[in-house]
């Protein structure tokens, strides 16, 4: 028998940009962006699935103007076998503004890294360890377990289109292709079992409703093997304070994952910080076991603006001196 599953993903996908599409690297206003996500899921079904992701991006374009760099990693632990996934990637994108109009730009991106997976078979129970009366952990499993870890290469490509009139009226959409190296997955060294390619379509916008309110709709669709995920929804933001050097805007939203869950989210923008917390209310076929409980997720972003004093090349003395 074989078992297939999806890649790691977050409900607040818009708060984990580099893991959503490598072309989103550097797609912000500032010098550095740091993003973190933490998710705990299926606590009522089994041992919780815990996922943590972090990324850092730089917009300075030191090598070539418009060429931006970043890095991201995530760690996931799931199930009784302490099944762990660790992934580390470096990512890069290049901004190209369409001629004659700086409001439109096309950005391709690439991501390269490695994926490492490990499982502890000693924590699992097998049918051969049932002696006819009760489970006996001292009995052999009779499983031909060749290895308990796998490491392989990651390769992903992406492209986005961005249109920005100002900070409160903008739209970004893109497509990403992941797992292009088709890394092997089997702990039994079965080379026919590989990590399926994944295609991601996504978009998110900001639309100014009035002086104080912004609508932030979005969508995300993923296709991997015979699985798919469709997410639609929106946040709404209330700008409570917007003065020089101080900005505060709470937000809330609702997102629908097709045939699976409703995701409720609240958060706030505070100066260079963006924080959010969400919870999935599960209504899929797993609902009887999950008791309608899904995943609790936290997100945090910080955008760093580096102060650069103006370099005065020469001074002009006024005539009256």
- Number of independent structural domains in the chain: 1
48 alpha carbon, distance to own chain's centre: 19
pLDDT, residue 5, reads 53
pLDDT, residue 312, reads 66
**Residue 18 domain flag:** yes
**Residue 321 domain flag:** no
**Residue 137 domain flag:** no
Sequence-ordered list of residues with C-beta below 8 angstroms from that of 118, at least 6 positions apart, any chain: 83, 84, 148, 149
pLDDT, residue 263, reads 93
Q: Cα(121)–Cα(302) distance, rounded to whole angstroms?
A: 39
| CB-based burial, 103-128: b 16+ in 10 Å, e otherwise | eebebbbbbebebebbbeeeebeeee
Query: C-alpha angle with apex 57: 54 to 60, nearest 5 degrees?
Result: 165
Q: Which residues pair with 221 in a beta bridge?
A: 201, 230
**Residue 20 domain flag:** yes
Q: Cα(228)–Cα(156) distance, rounded to whole angstroms?
A: 18
Phi, psi (rounded to 5 degrees) for 31 = -110, -40
Per-residue pLDDT of the chain (321 residues), as tens digits, is 444 455 677 889 999 999 999 999 999 999 999 999 999 876 665 677 889 999 999 998 778 888 999 999 999 988 778 888 999 999 999 999 888 677 899 999 999 999 998 988 877 888 888 888 888 888 888 877 777 888 889 999 999 999 998 889 999 999 999 999 877 777 777 777 888 899 999 999 999 999 999 999 999 999 998 889 999 999 999 999 998 879 999 999 999 998 888 999 999 999 999 999 999 888 766 655 555 567 899 999 999 988 777 766 666 666 665
**Residue 156 domain flag:** yes
Residue whose pair of structure tokens reads 């762990």 in the numeric block: 84
Phi, psi (rounded to 5 degrees) for 242 = -145, 85
CATH code: domain of residue 164: 2.40.160.60
**Residue 203 domain flag:** yes
Task: Residue 217: count other Cβ atoms within 10 Å of its Cβ.
Answer: 16
Report whether 26 contacts 71 (CB < 8 A): no
Domain span holding position 287: 14-125+145-304
**Residue 8 domain flag:** no
Report whether 233 contacts 215 (CB < 8 A): no
C-alpha distances out from residue 96 to 108, 139, 145, 168, 177, Å: 9, 63, 50, 22, 20
Report whether 44 contacts 224 (CB < 8 A): no
**Residue 79 domain flag:** yes
pLDDT, residue 292, reads 56
DSSP reduced 3-state for 121: helix
């Amino acid at each position: 028998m074989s078992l297939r599953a999806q890649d790691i993903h977050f409900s607040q996908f818009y708060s984990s940009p580099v893991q959503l599409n490598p072309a989103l690297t550097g797609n912000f206003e500032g010098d550095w962006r740091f993003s973190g996500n933490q998710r705990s899921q299926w606590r009522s079904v089994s041992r919780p699935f815990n996922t943590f992701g972090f990324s850092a991006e730089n917009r300075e374009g030191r090598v070539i103007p418009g060429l931006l760099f970043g890095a991201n990693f995530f760690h996931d632990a799931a199930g009784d076998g302490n099944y762990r996934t660790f992934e580390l990637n470096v990512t890069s994108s290049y901004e190209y503004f369409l001629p004659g109009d700086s409001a439109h730009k096309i950005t391709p991106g690439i991501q390269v890294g490695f994926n490492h997976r490990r499982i502890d078979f000693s924590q699992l129970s097998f049918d051969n360890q049932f002696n006819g009366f009760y489970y006996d952990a001292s009995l052999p499993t009779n499983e031909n377990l060749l290895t308990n870890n796998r490491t392989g290469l990651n390769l992903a490509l992406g492209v986005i289109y961005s249109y920005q009139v100002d900070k409160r009226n903008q739209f970004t959409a893109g497509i990403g292709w992941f797992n292009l190296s088709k890394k092997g997955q089997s702990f039994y060294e079965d080379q026919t079992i590989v990590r399926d390619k994944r295609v991601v379509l996504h978009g998110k916008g900001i639309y100014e409703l009035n002086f104080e309110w912004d609508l932030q709709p979005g969508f995300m669709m993923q296709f991997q093997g015979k699985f798919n995920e469709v997410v639609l929804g929106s946040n709404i933001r209330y700008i409570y304070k917007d003065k020089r050097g101080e900005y505060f805007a709470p937000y809330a939203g609702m997102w629908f994952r097709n045939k699976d869950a409703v995701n409720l989210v609240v958060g706030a923008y505070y100066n260079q910080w963006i924080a959010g917390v969400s919870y999935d209310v599960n209504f899929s076929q797993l609902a009887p076991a999950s008791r309608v409980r899904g995943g609790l997720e936290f997100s945090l972003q910080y955008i760093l603006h580096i102060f650069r004093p103006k370099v005065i090349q020469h001074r002009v003395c006024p005539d009256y001196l």
